[in-house]
Homo-oligomer: A and B are copies of this chain.
Amino acid sequence: MSEGRRIVVIGGSAAGPKAAARARRVDQHARVTIIQREPDLSMASCGYPYYVGGFFEDRNKLLCTPTGVVRDPVFFMNTKGIEARTKTEAVSIDRDRRVVRCRDLESGEEDEVPYDKLVIATGASPVMPPVPGTDLEGITTLQSMRDADLLRRIRDERKIKNAVVVGGGLIGVETCEALELAGIHITVVEMLPQILMFLDWELAKLLENHMKAKGAHVITENPVSAFLGEEGKLTGVKLANGTELPCELAVVAAGVRPNVGLAGDAGLDVGSAAGGIVVNGEMQTSDPDIYAAGDCVEIPNLLTGRSVHAPYGDLANLQGRVVGTNAAGDEHDTFPGTIQTGVCKVFDYAAGATGLSERSAREEGFDVETVVHAEPDKPGFMGAKLIVMKMVAEKGSGRLLGVQCIGPGDVSKRIAIGAMALHGKLTVDDLTVADLPYAPPFSPAVDNIIACAQTLQNKMAGRLRGIPAREVKGRVDAGEDLFILDVRGADEYEQMRLGIGEVLVPLGALRKRLDELPQDRAKEIICYCKISLRGYEAARLLEAHGWTDVKVMEGGIMAWPFAREK
User: Which A40-94 residues have a C-beta within 8 angstroms of B?
Assistant: 44, 46-47, 50-51, 55-56, 58, 61-62, 64, 66-67, 69, 75, 78-81
Does A256 sit within 8 A of B, measured CB to CB?
Answer: no
Q: Which residue of B lies closest to A312 (CB)?
A: B438
Q: Interface segment, A113-121, A181-189, A375-383?
A: A375-383
C-alpha spacing A400/B505, complex, angstroms: 51
Does A158 sit within 8 A of B, measured CB to CB?
Answer: no
Does A322 sit within 8 A of B, measured CB to CB?
Answer: yes
Per-position 1/0 for A553-566, Cβ under 8 A of B: 00000000000000
Does A421 sit within 8 A of B, measured CB to CB?
Answer: yes
Does A341 sit within 8 A of B, measured CB to CB?
Answer: yes
C-alpha spacing A530/B26, complex, angstroms: 22
Does A28 sit within 8 A of B, measured CB to CB?
Answer: yes
Query: In the complex, which of the residues A1, A322, A382 has the most CB atoms of chain B within 10 Å of its own CB atom?
Result: A382
Residues in chain B near residue A430, CB distance under 8 A: 423
CB atoms of B381 and A56 under 8 A apart: yes
CB atoms of B442 and A412 under 8 A apart: yes
Partner of A434, one of B419, B443, B508, B534: B419
CB atoms of B446 and A507 under 8 A apart: no
CB atoms of A382 and B55 under 8 A apart: yes
User: Which A401-434 residues have a C-beta within 8 angstroms of B?
Assistant: 410, 412-413, 415-417, 419-421, 423-426, 430, 432-434
C-alpha spacing A416/B69, complex, angstroms: 33
Per-position 1/0 for A436-469, Cβ under 8 A of B: 1111111101110010001000000101000000
C-alpha spacing A47/B61, complex, angstroms: 40
CB atoms of A342 and B541 under 8 A apart: no
Indicate how many identical chains form the complex: 2
CB atoms of A425 and B423 under 8 A apart: no
CB atoms of A440 and B44 under 8 A apart: yes
Does A345 sit within 8 A of B, measured CB to CB?
Answer: yes
User: Which A474-517 residues have a C-beta within 8 angstroms of B?
Assistant: 488-489, 492, 507-509, 511
Partner of A318, one of B44, B423, B433, B463: B433
CB atoms of A1 and B544 under 8 A apart: yes
CB atoms of A435 and B413 under 8 A apart: no
CB atoms of B61 and A380 under 8 A apart: yes
Does A352 sit within 8 A of B, measured CB to CB?
Answer: yes
User: What is the interface size of chain A, counting residues whose CB is below 8 A from a CB of the partner?
Assistant: 104
C-alpha spacing A125/B28, complex, angstroms: 59
Partner of A341, one of B56, B343, B433, B436: B436
Partner of A433, one of B14, B58, B335, B446: B335
Q: Top 7 A-B pairs ranked by shortest CB distance?
A: A424-B424, A28-B544, A420-B420, A343-B437, A314-B438, A78-B508, A412-B442
Q: A44-B381, A314-B438, A424-B425 are in contact. List 17 more A-B contacts (CB 8 A).
A: A25-B536, A25-B537, A29-B544, A47-B381, A50-B440, A56-B381, A61-B381, A318-B446, A318-B450, A341-B436, A344-B439, A345-B441, A345-B442, A412-B413, A412-B439, A419-B436, A424-B426
List chain A positions with a Cβ less than 8 A from chain B: 1, 14, 24-26, 28-29, 44, 46-47, 50-51, 55-56, 58, 61-62, 64, 66-67, 69, 75, 78-81, 302, 312-315, 317-318, 321-322, 331, 334-336, 338-345, 350, 352, 354, 376, 379-382, 384, 410, 412-413, 415-417, 419-421, 423-426, 430, 432-443, 445-447, 450, 454, 461, 463, 488-489, 492, 507-509, 511, 530, 534, 536-537, 540-541, 543-544
Give me 24 A-to-B residue pairs in the complex whose CB atoms sit less than 8 angstroms apart, sorted by A's number. A14-B445, A25-B463, A26-B463, A28-B543, A46-B445, A56-B381, A58-B381, A61-B381, A66-B384, A66-B530, A313-B438, A314-B436, A322-B433, A339-B435, A341-B436, A343-B438, A343-B439, A344-B439, A350-B442, A412-B439, A416-B416, A420-B421, A420-B436, A423-B424
